[in-house]
Amino acid sequence: MAHPLAYLFESPSPINLRHVPFSPDLTALVIGPHPDDFDAMAVTLRLVLHRGVSLVALIFRAGSGVPAWFASLRPAMTPTAIREDEQRASCEAFGLAEDALIFLDFDRDPYGELREDSANFDRLAHFVRQFQPDLVFLPHGEDTHPTHRCVARLFRRTAETLQRPMVAFWSRDPKTQRIRVDAFTPFDTGEAEWKARLLRFHASQHWRNVETRRMGLDERIFSVNRQTARALKCGFPYAEAFELEFFPGPSANGLLTSGREAAGHGVQPASEPMSDRPPLRHAEGSE
């Protein structure tokens, strides 16, 4: 019987995720270093959810990026509470079960960025071990934002301790500096309108982007999705892109062997060198 992750590991890349036979036996975990990171890959997450995969979102509490004038409109709420409220509303519209959305507090430095310390590692490792995910979606670690980089390192350390095979989907967003596109989800204007509605729930971030970049959060995300679609020549106006990383557990057995035999195809094992496939490059400022 084929391993449920075998298709991802053995297929030529880049893989169109709409063609992947995701098994209902799989569990997917979304790790959001900030509220709104979930929504940047919402089309792919909805695809996975509709295939019957169990989906859980772990969101790091954060109050950064809320303009003072915006916070003054909701004086009874802290900036952190505002952003959490925005994410809850977005996930409700997405269709995520209420008990599948989890917010966690993590230690931060005096500048508000995540600390890469043993306490934060233990918190993240506890929840990853609790859910035992097969698929993990999170922002790419090659990123201008220090919290994204820190979460990537903490997750990688955690994944290397898990006793099961797992695939990380490192997502491309406006802060990604370098990515090897192993997989993508193309989408049309109808789905873009749906995704825009989710992103607009993050009103504090929408107006901050309008003020600082002269574009809303949705347009900022779509600019990357359009670039990805054009580069891949996928026949759709938009696409979400991912680099895949395979963390082999002791039960991987033939899955790992078959992947090595299919050199240059699918997901490279985490312990193996990256392929020479030309990366997409994009750089922009912090959150």
Q: Examine the pLDDT at 280 and tell me if it is beyond 90.
A: no
Non-local (6+) Cβ contacts of 174 within 8 A are: 220, 221, 223, 224, 282, 284
Estimate the crossing angle of helix 79-94 against helix 42-50, to 10 degrees: 40
Q: Looking at residue 5, what is its pLDDT?
A: 78
Residues 55-72 as b/e (b if ≥16 CB within 10 A, e otherwise) read bbbbbbbbbbbbbeebbe
For residue 14, give both structure tokens. Answer: 């880049």
Separation CA 156–CA 75 (nearest Å): 38
Q: Examine the pLDDT at 222 and tell me if it is beyond 90.
A: yes
- Residues recorded for the chain: 287
Separation CA 145–CA 140 (nearest Å): 10
Q: If you average pLDDT over residues 245-249, what whole number do you get?
A: 82
Assigned domain for 105 exists: yes
Q: What pLDDT digit, counting tens, does each position of 223-241 carry?
A: 999 999 999 999 999 999 9
pLDDT above 90: percentage of residues in the chain: 70
Assigned domain for 285 exists: no
Query: How many domains are there within the chain?
Result: 1
For tokens 């082999």, what's the residue?
248
Q: If you average pLDDT over residues 29-48, what whole number do you get?
A: 97
Residue 95 CB-density burial (10 A; 0-12 exposed, 13-18 middle, 19+ buried)? exposed
Q: If you average pLDDT over residues 203-228, what whole number do you get?
A: 96
Assigned domain for 274 exists: no
For residue 233, give both structure tokens. Answer: 């020549």
Separation CA 65–CA 102 (nearest Å): 21
Assigned domain for 166 exists: yes
Q: What pLDDT digit, counting tens, does each position of 18-27 carry?
A: 999 999 999 9
Q: Examine the pLDDT at 283 and tell me if it is beyond 50.
A: no
Assigned domain for 259 exists: no
Q: Examine the pLDDT at 282 and tell me if it is beyond 60.
A: no
Could you give the C-alpha distances from 162 to 26, 64, 89, 157, 166, in angstroms and in order?
16, 31, 32, 9, 9
Assigned domain for 171 exists: yes
pLDDT above 70: percentage of residues in the chain: 85
Q: Looking at residue 117, what is its pLDDT?
A: 86
Structural domain range at position 91: 7-251
Instruction: Return the closest-CA partner of residue 181 out of 234, 241, 125.
Output: 241
Collapsing DSSP states into helix, strand and coil, what is residue 27? strand
Q: Examine the pLDDT at 64 and tell me if it is beyond 70.
A: yes
In terms of C-beta distances under 8 Å and separation of at least 24 residues, what long-range contacts does 249-254 make, across chains too? 249/162, 249/163, 249/164, 249/165, 249/166, 250/163, 250/164, 251/164, 251/165, 252/3, 252/165, 254/3
Assigned domain for 206 exists: yes
The region of weakest confidence among 82-96, 161-175, 207-221, 244-258 is: 244-258
Cα Rg of the chain, angstroms: 18
| CATH classification of the domain holding 246 | 3.40.50.10320
Q: Examine the pLDDT at 179 and tell me if it is beyond 80.
A: yes
Q: Examine the pLDDT at 164 and tell me if it is beyond 50.
A: yes
Higher pLDDT, 1 or 19: 19
Instruction: Tell me the pLDDT band of 269, cut-offs 50, 70 and 90.
Output: very low
Report how many helices (DSSP H) and strands (DSSP E) the chain contains, helices first: 10, 10
Q: Looking at residue 266, what is its pLDDT?
A: 34
Collapsing DSSP states into helix, strand and coil, what is residue 87? helix
Model-level pTM? 0.87
Q: Looking at residue 267, what is its pLDDT?
A: 35
For residue 284, give both structure tokens. Answer: 């922009």
Q: Examine the pLDDT at 89 and tell me if it is beyond 90.
A: yes
**Highest mean pLDDT of the ranges 62-71, 83-92, 107-116:** 83-92
Assigned domain for 180 exists: yes
Residue 14, preceding bond cis, omega within 30 degrees? yes
Could you give the C-alpha distances from 255 to 22, 35, 153, 246, 250, in angstroms and in order?
16, 35, 25, 10, 11
Q: Looking at residue 281, what is its pLDDT?
A: 35
For the CA atoms of 33, 39, 41, 46, the dihedral, rounded to the nearest 10 degrees, stands at 130
Do 55 and 215 meet the contact criterion of CB atoms below 8 Å apart? no
